[in-house]
Chain A
């Protein structure tokens, strides 16, 4: 199971501190969302026994500037995430094959519907269930976040779109262990299996992209082999 976190300078903890806590809580890997974060994945892996993967979360104002950033950052990272939160950005993200994850689709003014759910399935863009506000907000904003998660869950279930689960932690103190997330998920209407699948999906994205970056890869199902020099 993997988790995806923001790290220093965008967050309050460095990548290695996040990795230490994540390994302690039983995660197998950690996706770093922060482009500016400076870390040595091998050293952290040797020390704490956790796989650290470079991801980049694109936070652009509109689809045009997001498209530029996607083109620039795609070769630099293993997991490319695009921050949702407006209808235009949500739609752009789920219709772009090069994007792996649409994050926080229901934040702010963002909304989701059956068209986007279908597009996410077609383009294999994972939609993120953001548990951050469930764990850290209270009152009205939390109620709205729960309503958003419920709507998103119903659409994702109906159209069988790919999804990931994360607590969007900025600091290692905001991380929670997988068992705790399963317990919270069951309280708010998810099944424990959905939460596990959502955490494992990060690892599947990483494996899929590593396979694509392999120089023997030509296209899905086609690899350079014995007969192709």
Chain B
């Protein structure tokens, strides 16, 4: 269909979202989009969810860290932020996320707020709670494998 004249096009805002999950978690764009729609539908209702019109634009994710750009209507950024905060897991993988900032264009959003972090994982045992434990390390943080399950730690805990 012919696109709308400029003055009656919807105004958008782009939210830069940083995502953090377990190093082994597999998350893709469709799964994140689905989780976002569910979160928005449950928190804002069908009407609010339709108003906010949340769409995942950019999505990069690898080995536990990722970034997404989420488009929302200009007047609904607060609702969009709230819906994002209510995503606690994607495909039953728990995720942490934070909105780094909001921009009027995708490019400004990428340039201002997204850092394009590299995962750079190293698998090596570390000393934790008086024992050597297998761990996956990235920078100063690590995901340790203990008998009772995975524990997230930083290098301050290694001794």
Whether A12 lies near B152 (C-beta < 8 A) is: yes
The verdict on A13 contacting B99 (CB below 8 Å), with A20-B141, A187-B43 known, is no
Q: How far is the CA of A61 from the CA of B65 in the complex (A)?
A: 40
Q: Which of A1-59 contact B (CB under 8 A)?
A: 8, 12-14, 16-17, 20-21, 24-25, 40, 43-44, 47
Interface residues on A, range: 20 to 34
Q: How far is the CB of B136 from chain A (nearest CB, A)?
A: 13
Whether B141 lies near A17 (C-beta < 8 A) is: yes
Given A17, A20, A171, A180, which contacts B98 in the complex, CB threshold below 8 Å? Answer: A180
A101 at the interface (CB under 8 A from B): no
In the complex, which residues of chain B have a beta carbon less than 8 angstroms from the beta carbon of A177? 98-99
Residue of chain A at shortest CB distance from B84: A180
In the complex, which residues of chain B have a beta carbon less than 8 angstroms from the beta carbon of A17? 141, 152-154, 157
Residue of chain B at shortest CB distance from A44: B156
Whether A187 lies near B156 (C-beta < 8 A) is: no
The verdict on A172 contacting B82 (CB below 8 Å), with A20-B141, A142-B42 known, is no
Residue of chain B at shortest CB distance from A17: B152
Whether A176 lies near B153 (C-beta < 8 A) is: no
B78 at the interface (CB under 8 A from A): yes
The verdict on A136 contacting B85 (CB below 8 Å), with A13-B152, A16-B157, A173-B95 known, is no
In the complex, which residues of chain A have a beta carbon less than 8 angstroms from the beta carbon of B44? 187
B114 at the interface (CB under 8 A from A): no
In the complex, which residues of chain B have a beta carbon less than 8 angstroms from the beta carbon of A183? 78-79, 81-82, 85
Whether B99 lies near A180 (C-beta < 8 A) is: yes
In the complex, which residues of chain B have a beta carbon less than 8 angstroms from the beta carbon of A8? 151, 153
Q: How far is the CB of B140 from chain A (nearest CB, A)?
A: 8
B88 at the interface (CB under 8 A from A): yes
Q: How far is the CA of A170 from the CA of B141 in the complex (A)?
A: 17
In the complex, which residues of chain A have a beta carbon less than 8 angstroms from the beta carbon of B86? 134-135, 184
Q: How far is the CB of A30 from chain B (nearest CB, A)?
A: 13
Q: How far is the CB of B36 from chain A (nearest CB, A)?
A: 14
Q: How far is the CA of A134 from the CA of B85 in the complex (A)?
A: 10
B125 at the interface (CB under 8 A from A): no
A213 at the interface (CB under 8 A from B): no
Q: How far is the CB of B83 from chain A (nearest CB, A)?
A: 8
A161 at the interface (CB under 8 A from B): no
Whether B85 lies near A20 (C-beta < 8 A) is: no
Q: How far is the CA of A183 from the CA of B86 in the complex (A)?
A: 11
Whether A180 lies near B82 (C-beta < 8 A) is: yes
B21 at the interface (CB under 8 A from A): yes
A193 at the interface (CB under 8 A from B): no
Q: Which of B134-151 contact A (CB under 8 A)?
A: 140-141, 149-151
Name B's A-contacting residues (CB within 8 A). 20-21, 42-44, 78-79, 81-82, 84-86, 88, 94-96, 98-99, 140-141, 149-154, 156-157
17 more A-B contacts (CB under 8 A) besides A14-B153, A175-B96, A179-B99? Answer: A12-B150, A13-B152, A14-B157, A16-B153, A16-B156, A40-B156, A47-B156, A135-B86, A173-B95, A173-B96, A174-B94, A177-B98, A180-B82, A180-B99, A186-B78, A187-B43, A187-B82
- List 20 interface pairs A-B (beta carbons < 8 Å), by A numbering: A8-B153, A12-B149, A12-B151, A13-B153, A17-B153, A20-B140, A21-B20, A40-B156, A135-B85, A172-B152, A173-B20, A173-B94, A173-B95, A173-B152, A174-B88, A174-B96, A180-B81, A180-B85, A183-B81, A184-B43
Counting from the closest, the 8 A-B pairs by CB-CB distance are: A173-B96, A180-B85, A183-B81, A183-B82, A13-B152, A16-B156, A16-B154, A136-B88
